[in-house]
Amino acid sequence: MKHSTLKTSNVAIHYVQQSSGPDLVWCPGGDQTGEEWEEQFNLFPDFRCTSFDPRGAGKTISYQNPPWSINTYANDLANLIQNVCNPPVVVIGLSMGALIVQEMLIKYPELCKIGIAMGTSGKKTGFIHEWEEAEINFRNNGHQLPSDFSLVHYALLMYPSEVLGDDKLWDKCKPIVSKAYSNRDSDMLSAQWQACLEYSALDELSDCKRPLHVIAFDQDMQTPPAKAKLVSDASADGHFHLLTGMGHCSLFRHKPKLVSNKIREIISIY
């Protein structure tokens, strides 16, 4: 995996790239970095895989302070694709990264072949709005979760009961949770999550000129499948896929091959 930096006037984007072939560009979720897609990179050796650290996480340096919008993240990704890929590309994202996928298809369709949005939602309403807003308010009020409590708190939101009830699976998946949250900067977490809370593309997706495939997970507590289906239903060329026995982050360590198989199936259509 090659590590590099792309510098623009307002950000130095740290990105990783591996292999060669048609371009797959992977958008991390909130609190994640590009390196965390390594499992998926290795499952697609016949593609050139690229990912990056979004502002607020990892080694990317923003010369502009928050707030950052999802449009800001899409602008960063558009610059990256234009400089280190051969567009149009397949753009794939999870959670916050899935919102970036939606924005890319709407604002930069010329750079995208198709979009695959996993663990996504339309406008945040009901429980998921109240939960995310409460997390942001907690951090903005100067509080920080101890690392041991962060581990168990966010594990419940990332993995299904199969992982939590199997000690070997939990030991396998625990480092993913720990890396994201054990020492998370509260201001940066709030900045990323605020961008997610405020974003909705439901009114614009009807004019989207690129196919959008939405992958939902039936045990996803962060973005329940019913919320994900709103996105595919709103899209001019939307497609909905439901994977069973999986939570929001099951593609990391839990069942990565099942996710890669579905992605290959989708890509093969085009």
- Looking at residue 159, its pLDDT comes to 98
Question: What tokens were used for 155?
Answer: 């594990």
What is the mean predicted confidence (pLDDT) over 26-41? 97
Percent of the chain with pLDDT over 70: 100
d(CA 16, CA 114): 21
Domain boundaries, the chain: 2-268
Are 49 and 101 within 8 A, CB to CB?
Answer: no
Which of 3.40.1050.10, 3.30.420.40, 3.30.110.60, 3.40.50.1820 would CATH assign to domain 2-268? 3.40.50.1820
pLDDT in tens, 124-169: 999 999 999 999 999 999 999 999 999 999 999 999 999 999 999 9
b/e sequence 206-229, b meaning 16+ C-beta within 10 Å:
eebebbbbbbbbebbbbbbbebbb
What is the mean predicted confidence (pLDDT) over 172-200? 96
What is the mean predicted confidence (pLDDT) over 245-254? 98
d(CA 43, CA 173): 18
- Looking at residue 54, its pLDDT comes to 98
Q: Please determine, for residue 87, whether its predicted confidence score (pLDDT) is greater than 90.
A: yes
What is the mean predicted confidence (pLDDT) over 178-203? 95
Q: Please determine, for residue 265, whether its predicted confidence score (pLDDT) is greater than 90.
A: yes
pLDDT in tens, 65-78: 999 999 999 999 99
Helical residues (DSSP H) of 31-141, grouped into ranges: 38-43, 70-84, 96-107, 126-140
Helical residues (DSSP H) of 160-204, grouped into ranges: 161-164, 167-181, 186-198
Residues linked to residue 16 through DSSP beta bridges, in sequence order: 3, 51
- Looking at residue 7, its pLDDT comes to 97
Are 55 and 62 within 8 A, CB to CB?
Answer: yes
Q: Please determine, for residue 122, whether its predicted confidence score (pLDDT) is greater than 90.
A: no
